[in-house]
Structure 1
Amino acid sequence: MDYFVKEQSIVRKIWGKSDTILFIFAGAAAEFALNKAVDWLYFTGKLPSDPLGRLFSTVRYARMIVFAPKEEANKAIDTMRKIHSAVEENRGATIPDWAYRDVLFMLIHYSISAYELLEAKLTEAEKEEVYNVFYRVGDRMGLKELPSNYIEWLPVREAHLQANLQKSAFTADLFKQYKKHLGSMRFKVLIEGQKLVCPDKVKTMLQFSDFSLLTPIVPIYKVSRLMKMDWLLKGILLPADYKDQINDLDVYRR
């Protein structure tokens, strides 16, 4: 069977565990809120009205690409492009190519930072593998000006952070929606988690401190996974309505 992502790929390990995925989207939720093209997410109204539902919808597509046979993965990528094209047609405008790249760049950055936070440092070869997978996703979607490798991508990613982020009314409203749908306690955990994986530029713009209250908790959480007790912490920190969906994210259970 020919897969879009090789069965032994580090990308499968990253996207095969619920806690890593949740940190990926915690970080992306912060950066999304600052992106200059965030108004596109408000055009359909789906993100502000149901940020958690949007998260799991996005995860389904991402995991289909990571774990499905190549033909099915390509169909999923093509479907994503068609969905965005329909939104563009309805709005009568075109999503900037740099905005598509920004989303792709978020997936690359947070895949690496979340895994390194919860698991282990990646080798340069593994980082290259992460980049290559998402490069092929972007290439299939028809994105232009994608760096050919991870090393070339690093300064481009930094340039995008400097050029394409701004704090706006959308930023404030999205964080308001996050708090509404998560509740005050879980929202606080979200913020503390974002501090651990977001780039300095994002943290500065959101006025996050460098210290996260979760820093001393992460080692304890890692031990809880080894003892099969991580489900207890997840049950406390995550909405009960999404328990089954969160459990379904674990392909590689310890």
Structure 2
Amino acid sequence: MQYFVEKSSIVRKIWGKSDTILFIFAGAAAEFALNKAVDWLYFTGKLPADPLGRLFSTVRYARRIVFSPMEEANKAIDTMRQIHTAVEQNRGATIPDWAYRDVLFMLIHYSIASYELLEKKLSDEEKEEVFNVFYRVGARMGLKALPLTYTEWLPVQKEHLLQDLQKSKYTEDLFKQYKKHLGAMRFKVLIEGQKLVVPDRVKELLQFSDFSFLTPVVPLYKISRLMKMDWLLKNILLPADYKDQINELDVQPE
């Protein structure tokens, strides 16, 4: 059986661990809030009303693509496109192609950055593999002007970060919602985690310092995983309502 992502792929390793996925979406949560097209996420009202629920909804789609046979993965991608098309029809406008590319670029960047933070540096071949998986997702969705290789993607991503991000009223409101749903202590951890994976442009716009108090914690966390004690830290740091869903992220679907 042919899978969308081969079973030996580094992408399965990245998307098969809850802590890596949580860093991916911590970073994306920061960058999403700055995107010039973020008003689209407010159109249905679902994101500000339940940012954590939307996170897990997005995770389920991404993991369905990564771990499914080719036909099922393609159906999941087609469903995502149909959902966005319905939103466009309801609003009477079209989501700009660059906004779709931005989301795709986030998945590429944060998949690499999060894995390298928690595991090890990726080789050029592995980075190309990550890029290729999400390139195929974008191509299936009909996105235009996608770079064809990881090397070609790097300068395009930098250009997107310069052109497509700005701090706005939506940025401030989304971060208020993050804090409301996480609580003050967990929100502080979110910010410190975001500092470890977001690009410099995002740090600049959000006025993040270069230092994160999680920097010295990461090596300790890696040790806790080896000792099978990482569950204790997760229980302390993550909302109780979502613990089961977070634990499920460590189980790779067959």
2:195 maps to a residue whose letter is: K
Partner residue of 1:41? 41
1:114 maps to a residue whose letter is: S
SS at match of 1:166: coil
List per-residue Cα deviations over 1:9-50 (Å, max 9, x = no partner). Answer: 000000000000000000000000000000000000111000
2:49 maps to a residue whose letter is: S
List per-residue Cα deviations over 1:226-253 (Å, max 9, x = no partner). Answer: 000000000000001101000000036x
Matched, 1:7 2:7: yes
Partner residue of 1:134? 134
Aligned-partner Cα distance in 1 for 2:148–2:200: 25
Partner residue of 1:205? 205
Aligned-partner Cα distance in 2 for 1:143–1:46: 24
Partner residue of 2:73? 73
1:13 maps to a residue whose letter is: K
2:203 maps to a residue whose letter is: K
Partner residue of 2:178? 178
List per-residue Cα deviations over 1:107-149 (Å, max 9, x = no partner). Answer: 0000000000000000000000000000000000000000000
Partner residue of 2:163? 163
Identity of aligned residues (%): 83
Aligned-partner Cα distance in 1 for 2:194–2:34: 13
Aligned-partner Cα distance in 1 for 2:173–2:242: 23
How many correspondences in the alignment?
A: 252
Q: Which runs of 5+ in 1 are unaligned?
A: none
Aligned-partner Cα distance in 2 for 1:213–1:251: 29
1:83-162 to 2 correspondence within 5 Å?
83-162=83-162
Provide the TM-score with structure 2 as the length reference. 0.99
SS at match of 1:202: helix
Aligned-partner Cα distance in 1 for 2:221–2:251: 19
RMSD: 0.5
1:128 maps to a residue whose letter is: E
Q: Which runs of 5+ in 2 are unaligned?
A: none
List per-residue Cα deviations over 1:39-91 (Å, max 9, x = no partner). Answer: 00000011100000000000000000000111000000000000000000000
1:182-193 to 2 correspondence within 5 Å?
182-193=182-193
Provide the TM-score with structure 1 as the length reference. 0.99
SS at match of 1:109: helix
Aligned-partner Cα distance in 1 for 2:110–2:172: 22
Matched, 1:24 2:24: yes
